[in-house]
Structure 1
Amino acid sequence: MSAIDLLREPVCGMTWGWVGTRGTWATPVAEASLDRMAEHAVTWTAIAYAAEQATPFSTEIPFDQPPTVTEDEIVWAIRGAHERGMKVCLKPVVNVADGTWRAFIGFFDWDVPGEPSWTQWFASYTRFILNAAAIAEAESCEMFCIGCEMVRSDGQETHWRELIRKVRDVYSGPITYNCDKYQEDHVTWWDAVDIVSSSGYYPIGAWDTQLDRIERVVEASGKPFFFMEAGCPSREGSARLPNDWNLVGEPSGAEQETYYRAMFAAVRARPWVGGLMLWDWPADLYDETGAMANDDYCPYGKPAARVMAEQYAAWAAGAA
């Protein structure tokens, strides 16, 4: 199926399982989490897991070692989502063990003898991504994401194009890259992927301005577009800084609900936005009775969950 055909219906999505810690998937708890997510009009899920490199300057990504989930766990999650009627975007992500955000992984712009290099890093990253692409192909995943918020690497156009070429030898479905917020018009190789996607963590009052900017990028690319990540913690102040997971504030379901309503109104008013993959739904889901004390991104048991389910149901019905 082509990317355009795939997105004729909206991506009513939710990211599941982050960060993909070994032993937390393929359990009764994880199965119950998938059940609860499927009850909220979610038709797509990004099965997201992370491999860890030691520092931002490391060139080895040991994706087959703990804490990363095993291949058996990944297959279990994909099949579980498919069994519940959801389409799957497999999303392998690289993290940094020392806590540095992956956007800051970086090396000299050119290779220098004796120094860690982009060439070395991409060799390891390619092994990681091709391993995931083979799983995505074997399990008939409807989409594959080759990277997430790798801001400092975005300028390595030659390396990204070569990676995409190799992925296409392994995976036959649509490919996307999840650029970070505000970076949509800085990626120069959108023509190499099938779907443009980004992290839409925009402040509550900024959605229309940012959508105007992104629309120009999407029109120039000629590609379908959706937000591979979006959302807001249920925390006071988070609607102004929805990307800041460390923001200090009291739990607030009302804050998250207000943000969700504004976000859905803005994106659904733009026909070229193909949907949302909201962030995020953990494999070990908290008890619903404690939801209002939870200040993270997951909307389960909070007012935003009702907004999501209502909006997704209406969006899907409008496309039918």
Structure 2
Amino acid sequence: MTGTRDRLAAQLEQWANRAHAARIAAPRRRPMPAGFLRGVSYAMTNRVDSSYASPRSFETLRALAKRDVNSISIMPFAFSRTASDPEIGFIHRNPSGETDEGTVLAVVHARQVGMSAMLKPQIWLGGGAFVGEIAMDREEDWKEWFADYRRFIVHNAVVAEAGQAELFCVGTELSKTEIRDGQWRSVIAAVRLATGAPLLYASNWAAGAVRVPFWDALDAIGVDFYDPLSANPLASDAELVLGARRAYAPLARLASTHRKPVVFTEAGYPPVRGAWLTPHEEPMDRPLDPEHAGRAIAAVFAALEREPGWKGVYWWKVFSDGQPAAPGSRDHNILGRAAERVVASAYARIARAVAGAPAR
């Protein structure tokens, strides 16, 4: 028995040595999808019967395609206990969570209804704390955090490549990690070995994009666009359009400097009065007013639709079960609200305008 174990150990060691010595060839890089990305953030309902792998999800995608949506973002999650905990865990085998198979199937289903897909893996912090606060206290913890993060993001890049996802986001709103430029470039290089999809990073707001040092290593400038459009809760439509242009201004400069397109990897407004004041929040202290969210979305389109560097937007959000927002809820679900109507109208207009036009 000992001899058998020794032989197996020797064979495994030989295999490992060959694997380490093997030349790794990166997949051929794919171009950015053609045209404007008329997207929605496609959040998975944590139920087996409406997960990414379910027939119900496929029907939701079919319904979105009829509203001129041509791209979705798919979001597998990892988890950390606190912002200073270097350990990142991810479970990709729970059928009511984001399994690898479900993620691939969502990409395939999107393609079957005429959509592209962006994989946008994210970290969820304990207690719902903001991931932009992730920062380590010690250098050895930083090394562990980046090793764990690299494992998580490369795993999902392999999954993305299995489904031939059209876009891949290497990170989301990890603001306090961005100064570690060398470690981020190492992560990006590892992702390049796993997928040929064009790569983005999702900065925290347009205001935060200017602090990201590694745009040159990516294919597009990604922004979770939650910048306030106005400090006036009763702002006019003209004020909101001006606010959207002002918020976008640093992105226009980045796009020109790096010669890369800008994608709003997320954007959205809560269904409350003055939705444009704090777009990222779901405030309980303001009256419900879904029309204000619709007005904010309309202002973004009015301000930016003709911006040459603006490549697309993923509105936050639609759930894979396809259910409209519950009455009285304050979440960002666009279905069944003014937001859905405004997005559908804008996407139909853009789809008509770009038919037969050159890719942006």
Q: Under a length normalisation based on structure 1, what TM-score does the superposition of the two structures give?
A: 0.90
Give the corresponding residue for 1:158. Answer: 182
After TM superposition, list the pairs within 5 Å mapping 1:214-293 onto structure 2: 214-286=251-323, 288=324, 293=328
Query: Partners of 1:226 and 1:30 in 2: how far apart?
Result: 25
* Per-residue deviation, 1:317: 2.5
1:311 aligns with 2:346: yes
2:139 is aligned, of 98, 107, 111, to 111
Could you give the per-residue CA deviations for residues 29-70 of structure 1, whole angstroms, max 9, x where no partner exists? 433432332222100100112111111122222212668421
Query: Partners of 1:8 and 1:29 in 2: how far apart?
Result: 28
1:6 is aligned, of 25, 32, 38, to 32
* Per-residue deviation, 1:232: 0.6
Give the corresponding residue for 2:87. Answer: 60
Segments of 5+ residues of structure 1 without an aligned counterpart are none
Change (3 A) 1:155 1:247: farther
Moved over 6 A (4+): none
Query: Partners of 1:180 and 1:22 in 2: how far apart?
Result: 29
After TM superposition, list the pairs within 5 Å mapping 1:93-112 onto structure 2: 93-108=122-137, 111=139
Give the corresponding residue for 1:80. Answer: 109
Task: Report % sequence identity.
Answer: 27
Give the corresponding residue for 1:207. Answer: 244
Higher percent of residues as helix: 2
Give the corresponding residue for 2:66. Answer: 39
2:171 is aligned, of 147, 154, 159, to 147
1:136 aligns with 2:129: no
Helix, strand or coil at the partner of 1:188: coil
Segments of 5+ residues of structure 2 without an aligned counterpart are 1-27, 230-239, 356-360
Give the corresponding residue for 1:194. Answer: 219
* Per-residue deviation, 1:291: 5.4
Change (3 A) 1:107 1:246: farther
Amino acid at match of 2:54: T
Indicate the structure whose relative CO is greater, using CA pairs within 8 Å and at least 6 residues apart: 1
Q: Under a length normalisation based on structure 2, what TM-score does the superposition of the two structures give?
A: 0.80
Helix, strand or coil at the partner of 2:209: coil
Q: Any conservation in 2 of the 1:225–1:273 contact (CA below 8 Å)?
A: yes
Amino acid at match of 1:53: S
Change (3 A) 1:249 1:37: farther
Helix, strand or coil at the partner of 2:127: coil
Could you give the per-residue CA deviations for residues 104-142 of structure 1, whole angstroms, max 9, x where no partner exists? 11114x615xxxx21100100111111110011111100
1:170 is aligned, of 194, 206, 210, to 194
Q: Any conservation in 1 of the 2:40–2:314 contact (CA below 8 Å)?
A: yes
Query: Partners of 1:61 and 1:122 in 2: how far apart?
Result: 9
Q: Any conservation in 2 of the 1:292–1:301 contact (CA below 8 Å)?
A: no
* Per-residue deviation, 1:254: 0.9
Give the corresponding residue for 2:236. Answer: none
Give the corresponding residue for 2:232. Answer: none
Q: Any conservation in 2 of the 1:161–1:189 contact (CA below 8 Å)?
A: yes
Q: Any conservation in 1 of the 2:283–2:330 contact (CA below 8 Å)?
A: no
* Per-residue deviation, 1:261: 1.0
